[in-house]
Amino acid sequence: MIVIVVWLAGLGVLHGLQNSFGGTYSDDFSLPDSQSQKGADVLQANAPSIGGTSAQVVLHDAKPLTDFTTQVNQAVASLQKLDHVLSVQNPLPQTNSSGTTTQTGALSKDGTIGYITVRFDQNPSALGTDYLNGVDAAVAPLRSAGVQVEYGGPLGEAARPHAKDLTSEAIGFAVAIVVLVVGFGSLIAAGLPLVTALISVIVGLSCLSLLAAAIDFASVSPTLATMIGLGVGIDYALFLITRYRQLIMDRVEPHIAAGVAVTTSGRAVLVSGCTVIVALAGLYVSGLSFIGRLGIAAAVTVVTAVAGALTLVPALAGLIGRRIDRFCLKTPVAEGGPVAGDDAVEKSGEPQHGFWHRYAKRVEHRPWWFLAAGVLVLGILAIPLFSMRLDHIDDGADPTSFTDRRAFDLISQGFGPGANGPLTLVVDQTNVPSSQRSTLASNLQKSLTGVPNAASISPLQATSNGNVLTGTAISTQRPQAADTTHLFNHLKDVSLPQGAKGTAATTYVTGVTAAQQDFTEIISARLALIIVVVVCLAFLIILAVFRGLLVALKAAVLNLFSIGASYGVVVAVFQWGWGGTALGVAGKVPIESYVPMMMFAIIFGLSMDYEIFLLSRVHEAWIRSQRAEDSVAYGLEITARVITCAALIMFSVFAAFILSDNIVVKMLGLGLAVSVLVDATVVRLLLVPAVMTLLGRHAWWAPRWLDRILPHLDTEGEAALHQATSGSAAKG
């Protein structure tokens, strides 16, 4: 009872602290060593009014916007007074002191669409809801006059409705209840993992919110943390409850059964949880705090899920006792066969005749056929992987209920799709002698003529101090298009350097779109490093746990097959457009740059759950019998029910998040759901038993020198389990 009270009290206190001191989430990231950030710093130092983060307030009316000059000017003046605003550009023609009218702002040819460009000293999405209320108040006169007002860019992202994934969570929970009831027959046993996982996730999200008050986390962080926390929380609780119920069926006293469940399966949970956390922490290898903090966000709920499984689950199980099977819809079952250490079964010598045992025997007879079938399936699923294109998904892919999507469409209609992602050209000529600056400007203008994929490039203008030249390039295509990437690279690597060749000038391409392109380039360059690190971690962890070189190598290689298949499905659905529209995606989109990196770390960690749980039972039988084939059959027979249920639950939790309005969440939900499905079916049912059969006793081989230095990890607490079941048998 003390443990339960502590958890409930902690839940209440943390939730209260979250409401009072919790932070906000925003997609504000910095790339200190990137050329786009250096260009932004140069602008900030020499021309603050045209530096910073730009966003658009888009205006539209059936009548020309010049009919609303008073309201537009009033809105511009009010926006200029807001904190953190560096400058505001009026879209309407302006008359100077000499009576000359000039058009410097963005107004469409028919005058019905225009946008106010607002430059902030930081990303407005990080300024909170109260700041957005000030922006709403500034443009209120325009809305009162009937003008359509939408927010674009970072300001539009700040104005998006807060993600409420309650529908996804409810669907995941509903499927989990059905799976658990059908799989184990008991309403109480089905509800216990769900309750403990929910409490653990809520505690984890409260902790994450408090961390967000001090650390910047991406807007997708709480959804990602919920997704991972629910999946592993239910799985870990399920592993413990399954062991507990089997011990109860074996006539072990409830309080002893709860302790033994933690001592045995709890060890596997702890190892699996640590593996997931280590994998997520490995994201810091990317060198990008934005990515590393996504890993931290997911790891927070993994920590609370492990803590809940090891403390709250046994506390509730001990409190419920033998009543755990009181409300049964069918004959209660727990594990798929006899538990390890069951002397009665071992002495009887009676073979197991369950479905999974018979299936394993079929694999033993034709392992090469099963291996080939598994590799063929995964190979076909992975084909789209080879055409993957990483980029940032622009606002045009969002639902039309989002203001940034409506702003995107209006800008595209009035100015062309490329106007949604302008590229700011910066030439720092501080170290260029005055006598050479005119020639430099002329050479740059020539090099910027006829640039491929450019709809327009404005003439370079000097800042007030004369040290910097700036201009704007507009792509012929939308920001997420490959042509925009080609334009960015051409400007950065060819046009600007050629124009400044032979001088001391330095050139940059900056702005929001340029920063996103730099971010994608860095991610692409470091993805291979993340993969190598994660695969090596998989190898080392399995090697340390099971002390076999080949079984560890097998686990690492199969992770690559699993991730390749899930990558392929994500590319086919989102980039190729095979069913993306049915999922609520507006057209074909590239793969968000950081999604593959996140998927790899998460899938690695999650696949270790099933790997450790299955291999620990196979290894347990191998140690006892020294018969490799029988060990595989035993492992499948024992773990089939619980792993199948766990995989179905995790699949349903992840797949339910495909309903989210956030496309990145959709990608992660689909990718993780596919990976779990592939891992629990093709990998576990075809590849693992086939490879383990082919390896035979060699799977567990390790050189003597390596065996001496490896730690001895008992992931299933076999001694404790043997003692508990022997004691109960003696009493019986």
pLDDT exceeds 80 at position 407: yes
Out of 253-267, 290-304, 398-412, which region has the weakest mean confidence (pLDDT)?
253-267
Please count the other Cβ atoms lying within 10 Å of the Cβ belonging to residue 36: 25
Tell me what pLDDT residue 412 has: 94
> Nearest-CA neighbor of 132 among 120, 146, 148?
120
How far apart are the C-alpha atoms of 710 and 705, rounded to whole Å?
9
Instruction: Give the CATH number of domain 52-159.
Output: 3.30.70
Q: What is the pLDDT of residues 472-498, one digit of tens each?
A: 999 999 999 999 999 999 999 999 999
Tell me what pLDDT residue 342 has: 43
Q: Helices 265-281 and 595-625 meet at what angle, rounded to 10?
A: 150
Out of 267-281, 493-507, 602-616, which region has the weakest mean confidence (pLDDT)?
602-616
Please count the other Cβ atoms lying within 10 Å of the Cβ belonging to residue 572: 18
Strands 85-89 and 94-95 come out as: unpaired
Tell me what pLDDT residue 643 has: 79
Task: Give Cα 597 to chain centroid, integer Å.
Answer: 8
Any residues with CB less than 8 A from the CB of 172 and at least 6 apart, and which? 230, 649, 652, 653, 654, 656, 657
pLDDT exceeds 90 at position 612: no
CB-count exposure of residue 180 (10 Å: 0-12, 13-18, 19+)? buried
Residues of the chain above pLDDT 90, percent: 31
Give the CATH class of 403-517.
Answer: alpha beta
Per DSSP, the three-state class of 682 is helix
Mean pLDDT calculated for residue range 46-64: 87
Tell me what pLDDT residue 77 has: 93
Tell me what pLDDT residue 2 has: 84
Higher local confidence (pLDDT), 151 or 30? 151
> Nearest-CA neighbor of 196 among 302, 312, 300?
312
Find the Cα–Cα–Cα–Cα dihedral 691, 693, 694, 697, rounded to 10°.
110
How far apart are the C-alpha atoms of 526 and 518, rounded to whole Å?
12
Tell me what pLDDT residue 340 has: 38
Per DSSP, the three-state class of 680 is helix
Per-residue confidence band for 125, with pLDDT thresholds at 50, 70 and 90: confident
CB-count exposure of residue 516 (10 Å: 0-12, 13-18, 19+)? buried
pLDDT exceeds 60 at position 218: yes
When the pLDDT of each residue in the chain is averaged and rounded to a whole number, the result is 84
Residues of the chain above pLDDT 70, percent: 90
Tell me what pLDDT residue 56 has: 92
Per-residue confidence band for 339, with pLDDT thresholds at 50, 70 and 90: very low
Tell me what pLDDT residue 103 has: 66
> Nearest-CA neighbor of 290 among 516, 562, 582?
516
Per DSSP, the three-state class of 360 is helix
Any residues with CB less than 8 A from the CB of 142 and at least 6 apart, and which? 59, 68, 71, 72, 75, 149
Tell me what pLDDT residue 347 has: 46
What's the whole-model pTM score?
A: 0.83
Tell me what pLDDT residue 74 has: 93
Q: Which secondary-structure segment (H or E) carries 230?
A: helix 221-249
Q: Helices 221-249 and 254-263 meet at what angle, rounded to 10?
A: 130
Please count the other Cβ atoms lying within 10 Å of the Cβ belonging to residue 387: 11
How far apart are the C-alpha atoms of 694 and 677, rounded to whole Å?
24
Tell me what pLDDT residue 33 has: 81
Tell me what pLDDT residue 345 has: 42
Helix spans in 495-511 (H): 496-499
Any residues with CB less than 8 A from the CB of 145 and at least 6 apart, and which? 68, 71
Tell me what pLDDT residue 230 has: 83
Listing DSSP states for 463-479 in one string gives: -TTSSEEEEEEEESS-T
Q: Which secondary-structure segment (H or E) carries 114?
A: strand 113-120
How far apart are the C-alpha atoms of 599 and 597, rounded to whole Å?
5
Q: What is the pLDDT of residues 94-119, one digit of tens each?
A: 776 666 666 677 889 889 999 999 98
Per-residue confidence band for 713, with pLDDT thresholds at 50, 70 and 90: low
Token couple for 170: 């409810």
Contact 95, 101 (CB under 8 A): yes
Contact 391, 520 (CB under 8 A): yes
Contact 85, 118 (CB under 8 A): yes
> Nearest-CA neighbor of 397 among 420, 427, 366, 428?
420
User: Which residue in this structure is represented by tokens 């994500």?
Assistant: 570
| Helix and strand element counts for the chain (H, E) | 28, 14
> Nearest-CA neighbor of 672 among 649, 689, 691?
649
pLDDT exceeds 80 at position 423: yes
Higher local confidence (pLDDT), 457 or 326? 457
**DSSP classification of residue 385:** G
How far apart are the C-alpha atoms of 331 and 350, rounded to whole Å?
23
> Nearest-CA neighbor of 545 among 213, 272, 290?
272
Instruction: Select the highest-mean-pLDDT range: 22-36, 550-564, 634-648, 665-679.
Output: 665-679
Per DSSP, the three-state class of 205 is helix
pLDDT exceeds 90 at position 454: yes
Tell me what pLDDT residue 99 has: 64
Strand partners, 328: 186
Mean pLDDT calculated for residue range 297-317: 91
Q: What is the pLDDT of residues 158-173, one digit of tens each?
A: 888 766 566 776 777 7
Tell me what pLDDT residue 579 has: 82
Beta strands in 177-252 (DSSP E): none
Any residues with CB less than 8 A from the CB of 475 and at least 6 apart, and which? 417, 418, 421, 423, 453, 454, 455, 481, 483, 484, 487
Tell me what pLDDT residue 718 has: 55
Tell me what pLDDT residue 723 has: 57
How far apart are the C-alpha atoms of 485 and 504, rounded to whole Å?
27
Residue 435: what are its φ and ψ, rounded to 5°?
-70, -20
> Nearest-CA neighbor of 279 among 24, 644, 531?
531
Higher local confidence (pLDDT), 329 or 599? 599
Domain positions in the chain = 52-159, 185-337, 403-517
Any residues with CB less than 8 A from the CB of 419 and at least 6 apart, and which? 106, 411, 412, 474
Per-residue confidence band for 343, with pLDDT thresholds at 50, 70 and 90: very low
Per-residue confidence band for 329, with pLDDT thresholds at 50, 70 and 90: low
pLDDT exceeds 60 at position 722: no
Strand partners, 454: 475
Q: What is the pLDDT of residues 649-662, one digit of tens each?
A: 888 888 888 888 88
pLDDT exceeds 50 at position 584: yes
Cα four-point dihedral sign 7, 10, 15, 18: negative
Tell me what pLDDT residue 166 has: 65
How far apart are the C-alpha atoms of 309 and 605, rounded to whole Å?
17
Tell me what pLDDT residue 665 has: 87
Per-residue confidence band for 346, with pLDDT thresholds at 50, 70 and 90: very low
Rounded (5°) CA angle 469-471-474: 160
Q: Same fold for the domain at 52-159 and the one at 403-517?
A: yes
Strand partners, 499: none
